[in-house]
Amino acid sequence: MEGRMADAPTSPYLVLARKYRPRDFTTLVGQDAMVQTLGNAFAQNRIHHAFILTGVRGVGKTTTARILARAFNYEDATGPHPTLDLSVEGEHCRAIIEGRHVDVIEMDAASNTGINDIREIIDSVKYAPSSASYKVYVIDEVHMLSTAAFNGLLKTLEEPPPYVKFIFATTEIRKVPVTILSRCMRFDLRRITPEIMTAYLESILGQEGISFEPEALAMIVRAGEGSARDNLSLLDQAISHGNGTVTAATVKAMLGLGDRARIIDLFEELMGGRIGEAIETMRALYDMGADPQTLVADLADFTHLVTRIKVVPAAADDVSLTPDERHRGAELSGKLPMRALTRAWQILFKGYDEVARASNGLQAAEMALIRLAYAADLPSPDDLIARLTNQPAPAPSLPPSAPINRGPSGGGGPSALRVEAPRPLATEAVAAQPAAPQAQAALATVASYKELIALAGAKRDVLVKLALESQMRPLSFEQGRIEVALADGADPGMIATLSARLQLWTGQRWLVNVSSKPPEGLTIRQEAVQRQQAAQAAAHDDPLVKAILDTFPGAKLVNVTVRDDATAVEPDLAPPPPEEDDE
């Protein structure tokens, strides 16, 4: 008999997440704001009848619901009285903690979604609790209830019996109808900060008598993403993986992480353009068991860290960072410009998806790193132009689109060349025109064909403006009289329209004659296009433009605007004398 008793199996192992589940609010970590609000409510006897708890996985929603159920039904030698002081176990506490109290009903809405399940609750609330002070209904993942179930719960939730309390928990608060939310006191449970989580894990390891390395805990806290349950599950796994100890090496192997110091080495090699060394480092990390997609993600994480430290220097004091991340990250943030960091983030972000879709993840990761290494030290457009023209780099305060003047000797001159986004020719022509004369008594004066086009633009008469530019060629212009030649395909009806518009705008009658001679020369629009093409061709022959196009294969010249110091060399809207050539 004694031998059989000795051979009896021991009690099954209880995972850390269950073993150290908080029993009261003093052991609930990271939710101080909620605990303070509930403490004040209980102290003032202003206890709501319905609560909804929301937050990401593992932050304590179900645990908080059970603690609240204990607080509602606390009873000691002095009798029942709701309280948040649960240091001494009450009469109903043990049964509530173990989930077997008859007056605390827990329901999983993911598997009980229909109206029939809610009807059972509606029917049961009519009966008083059997032994405790309150009948508490805890509905987990409440957002999974159907629309009919939510509607059936509304009336009972708004006016429940005085002995009924509802506690809802959900990870998808946006899926809960507003009609439900408006009847509940809402608490948003936050992610647990790295500082609090690190101290919490250290206390648990101390109680378990397990040695650990701070760097290993930092990796676990980062991977746990603020979830207590995730962190404890990872810690449980790390203890088993390390055979009773928690070391950085075992956690790296368990999580498939590359060495953080080697990740920083890889980042420095990439940002320095040392692609050969970077490929060798990545291959070594891959041979050690690191996943290519994880390596790209680690590089993106470190890029974000360096950028964050550059913007907020205090971010380097985060306790979840390793010493290498803290010190070398701060050093790199002072050396790398924001332009290089944001470009690296974009390349790595896109590369992560490419690695995920590729049949060979290592090859895709290497191509992403090669792209990053070659792009890391690209100069800015201002620096590049300054180098090509042997001029000092422009001051940072200059706008990126500021033109660079080039004379015959390259040191400045009467014209400036600027490569810029294309604009519609009509817009350019209007921008080059002087503003229409100010209206006097709502009437305008027009002294030239050029001013007539500007006036049509100011009046927002697009049809007339386009006709003046594209369908007519001015032959003569004087006050009250215009003679034009119509281009092929022009609308003759625009002559009457133009005459009527002129009388409306200027207050006097205008005679618009159409020449019977065949039109000679070009319209204003055609002149503009021709001049633009000539400027484009001249720009292609410019040594500076050639140097830029040679430096960036595949680049092309989009638009060219040539100006001198006095006036913009744009299409001249004043018609030249017929016997003279256009300049």
Domain boundaries, the chain: 16-188, 194-254, 256-376, 433-517
Looking up tokens 């002149």 gives: 527
Looking up tokens 């004379």 gives: 407
Output phi, psi for 372, to 5 deg. -70, -40
Specify the pLDDT at position 303: 92
Is 433-517 CATH 1.10.3470? no
- Contact assessment for residue 29 and residue 196, using Cβ atoms and an 8 Å cutoff: yes
At the topology level of CATH, where does 194-254 sit? Helicase, Ruva Protein; domain 3 (1.10.8)
Specify the pLDDT at position 423: 38
The one-letter amino acid at 315: A
For domain 16-188, give the CATH superfamily: P-loop containing nucleotide triphosphate hydrolases (3.40.50.300)
* DSSP assignment letter at 246: B
Specify the pLDDT at position 402: 38
Specify the pLDDT at position 163: 92
Q: How many CB atoms lie within 10 A of CB 88?
A: 9
Looking up tokens 């909804």 gives: 52
pTM value surpassing 0.85: no
Which H or E run includes 99? none
CA–CA separation, 558 and 568 (whole Å): 19
CATH topology of 16-188 equal to that of 194-254?
no
Q: How many CB atoms lie within 10 A of CB 126?
A: 9
Q: Provide the 3-class DSSP secondary structure of residue 91.
A: coil
256-376 CATH? 1.20.272.10
- Contact assessment for residue 403 and residue 418, using Cβ atoms and an 8 Å cutoff: yes
Looking up tokens 């692609």 gives: 275
Long-range pairs for 573-580: beta carbons < 8 A, 24 or more residues apart: 573/429, 573/433, 573/448, 573/449, 573/450, 573/453, 573/524, 574/448, 574/449, 574/450, 575/449, 575/473, 575/474, 575/475, 575/476, 575/477, 578/475, 578/520, 578/521
CA–CA separation, 46 and 40 (whole Å): 8
Looking up tokens 């943030």 gives: 333
Which H or E run includes 189? none
Specify the pLDDT at position 565: 42
Long-range pairs for 309-313: beta carbons < 8 A, 24 or more residues apart: 309/333, 310/334, 310/336, 310/338, 310/341
- pLDDT per residue as tens, the chain (583 positions): 444 444 445 668 888 888 888 888 888 888 888 889 988 898 888 889 999 999 888 888 888 999 999 999 998 888 888 888 888 888 888 888 888 899 998 988 888 888 988 898 888 998 899 888 999 999 999 999 999 999 999 988 988 999 999 999 999 999 999 999 999 999 998 888 888 899 999 999 999 888 888 888 888 888 888 888 989 999 988 888 888 888 888 887 787 665 677 888 899 988 888 888 999 988 988 887 788 898 899 899 999 999 999 998 888 887 777 777 888 888 888 888 888 898 899 999 999 999 999 889 899 999 999 988 888 766 666 666 666 666 555 544 433 333 333 333 333 333 333 333 333 333 333 333 444 444 444 578 888 888 888 888 888 888 888 888 888 888 888 888 888 888 877 788 888 888 888 888 888 888 888 887 766 777 888 888 888 888 888 887 888 888 888 788 777 877 777 664 433 434 434 444 444 444 3
